[in-house]
Amino acid sequence: MSPSRILVTGAAGFIGSHTVDELLASGLDVTGIDDLSTGRMANLSQALSHPRFSFVRGDVTEPGKVEGLCERFRPGAIIHLAGLVSVTRAQSEPDLNFRLNLLATHLVAEAARKHGVRRLVFASSAAVYGDQAELPIREEAPVSPVGMYGTAKLASEKLLLGYAASYDFEAVCLRYFNVFGPRQDPASPYSGVISIFADRLSAKLPVTVYGDGSQTRDFVSVRDLARANRLAATAPSIPGGGAVCNVCTGKRRAIAELTEILRGFFPRSPYAQFAESRPGEILHSCGDPDRAEEVLGFRAGVDLEEGLRELVTYVADSTPRASA
């Protein structure tokens, strides 16, 4: 049975707010929690006026916080998006990484177990794969995370799949590839390359490409990703009670190609500047999308050009205009 009530952690973030909008548009009741350390209330401007949405400001690592929400709201599913998104801070502050990623996931899983939540959807990452020689990357590929961020994501996956095997609920771990779209903060040093490039080009500033631009990524629109989150939470059943699925397009696009597409949206924008490759950077990344389609009925539908057009429109609408 599909749940009618869903709890979203990290609801005011880039991905969380789009997920909330997607759930509400599908007729579901949604409660969101966010401590607003990186999330923004402006991201929830549409949702806050919706009669089926409620918001709680709070920290999911606070003892009893998520349990209290489960007791009051009685969600059928939890989409757990809260966590430390900074790869750099996860590496330099391992205690913080443990608390915001591993401990938070454990507390959410315990709340789900104790209060009869049917399913838990977890925001994992392609970072668990590390540098893979064989593309596209399938979920069965050997995992080899580089650094503490990917390690925490992988450990959280194992924890949730263990819960699903031991207790009466299902777990879906979604390995996000390179997500982009409106509401991604370009001012953040941890933001994706697309939002940073779009922000600079809109200001007629050059972008910096590290290496020769031939490195490739699998870029997936946040609109598609929000739909994947919804399908993971509402699919009739999960085979075996636990699943790991890539959220990707299965298509590789070069950074140099991406730059030229973006420049086409900004007339008279400067050409890219090239700098030396950064040590340890993965050259090529692309996921296999087939399992997500088999298990969840999900396949990405927003192509790169369409997604970039949406982002550029958002950037233009968000840019302050000088008064006459």
Q: Which of 91, 36, 88 is nearest to 58 (CA)?
A: 36
Mean pLDDT of the region 218-239:
98
Contact 247, 183 (CB under 8 A): no
d(CA 41, CA 78): 20
Cα 303 to Cα 180: distance, rounded to the nearest angstrom: 12
What pLDDT sits at residue 1?
46
Question: Residue 146: what pLDDT?
Answer: 86
pLDDT at 322: 39
Give the mean model confidence (pLDDT) for residues 105-114: 98
Of the listed ranges 106-115, 127-136, 180-189, 254-263, the one predicted with least confidence: 180-189
Give the residue with greater pLDDT, 225 vs 192. Answer: 225
pLDDT of residue 320: 58
Q: Which sequence spans correspond to the domains of the chain?
A: 5-180+222-249
* Tens digit of each residue's pLDDT (9 = 90 or more) over 18-40: 999 999 999 999 999 999 999 99
- pLDDT value at position 188? 64
- Position 290 pLDDT exceeds 90: yes
Q: Which residue numbers are catalytic? A: 149
In this structure, the number of other CB atoms found within 10 A of the CB of residue 16 comes to 27
Is the confidence at residue 55, as pLDDT, over 80? yes
> Each residue of 146-170: pLDDT tens digit?
899 999 999 999 999 999 999 999 9
What was the pLDDT predicted at 52? Answer: 98
The angle at the Cα of 37, spanning 35 to 40, to the nearest 5 degrees, equals: 85
* pLDDT above 70 as % of the chain: 96
Q: Is the pLDDT at 324 greater than 70, yes or no?
A: no
- The amino acid at residue 255 is I
User: Does the pLDDT of residue 292 top 60, yes or no?
Assistant: yes
Q: 193 versus 120: which is more confidently predicted?
A: 120
pLDDT recorded at residue 190: 52
* pTM of the shown model: 0.95
Report the chain's mean pLDDT, rounded to a whole number. 94
SS3 (DSSP) at 44: helix
Q: 193-207 pLDDT, tens per residue?
A: 999 999 999 999 999
| Confidence tier at 273 by pLDDT (50, 70, 90) | very high
* pLDDT confidence band for 189 (50 / 70 / 90): low
Q: Residue 289's pLDDT is what?
A: 99
pLDDT at 282: 86
Angle value at C-alpha 280, between 10 and 150, nearest 5 degrees: 30
Q: Could you report how far apart the first and last alpha carbons of the chain are, in Å? A: 57
**Domain 5-180+222-249 adopts which CATH fold?**
Rossmann fold (3.40.50)
pLDDT in tens, 129-150: 999 999 999 999 999 998 999 9
CA distance 193 to 208: 10
Percent of the chain whose predicted confidence (pLDDT) is above 90:
89
